[in-house]
A = this chain, B = another copy of it.
């Protein structure tokens, strides 16, 4: 199956069949999330992987459509940072210095330009920017899942406060941005038989 066939087969599953994804496959999908590009390389997010039955049960009331949560293999919760603190940037540069075996001083101009860039933004701009980076992760996870023949359903319809309480998230510094259920489609899910609807090329693309 090539990647376009994989994407064409993908749809937003309403009901999974409770089958578990093999650990190695899940790891590959997560690796795809880890390799996501992010603005300035800052990766302003965290990825929570809910695999325990108990936690999934607890989370069900947070979702407007609970059928995916009760039948999926794993529920992924992507959490965005609301603020980029000075110490976060420092940690990032310490890490670059380590991985690339480069003295911190050499990285200083880049560090200064990032700090300046970040401090110029309003808290709301920072947060919107962080959420957009999280959507690259979401897309990468869905894409890898499709290639691995794993079904998925991205979900924005949830009660953020409920998830944040259950997952013990500090809502001053972080926010649940989007969730993704992973698993195998149930044979009973009729949505799999519906034709995919996408704007025709002439409405979506403009070549200049």
- The chain A residues found within 8 Å of chain B, CB to CB, are 3-4, 7-8, 10, 12, 28, 30-32, 34-37, 39, 41, 43, 46-52, 55, 95-96, 99-100, 128-129, 131-133, 135-136, 138-140, 142-144, 147, 154, 156, 167, 178, 194-199, 201, 203-208
Q: What's the minimum C-beta distance from A168 to chain B, rounded to whole angstroms?
A: 10
User: Are the C-beta atoms of A4 and B35 separated by less than 8 Å?
Assistant: yes
9 smallest A-B Cβ distances: which pairs?
A139-B139, A135-B135, A7-B35, A136-B139, A132-B135, A48-B206, A143-B143, A49-B207, A99-B197
User: Are the C-beta atoms of B208 and A51 separated by less than 8 Å?
Assistant: yes
With beta carbons under 8 angstroms apart, the residue of B34, B95, B138, B167 that contacts A136 is: B138
Supply 21 A–B pairs (Cβ within 8 Å), ascending by A.
A4-B31, A4-B35, A7-B140, A10-B35, A10-B37, A12-B37, A30-B205, A34-B201, A34-B205, A41-B197, A46-B206, A48-B208, A49-B208, A55-B208, A95-B199, A100-B195, A129-B156, A132-B132, A133-B135, A135-B135, A167-B208
Q: Once the chains are docked, how many angstroms separate the CA of A34 from the CA of B8?
A: 10
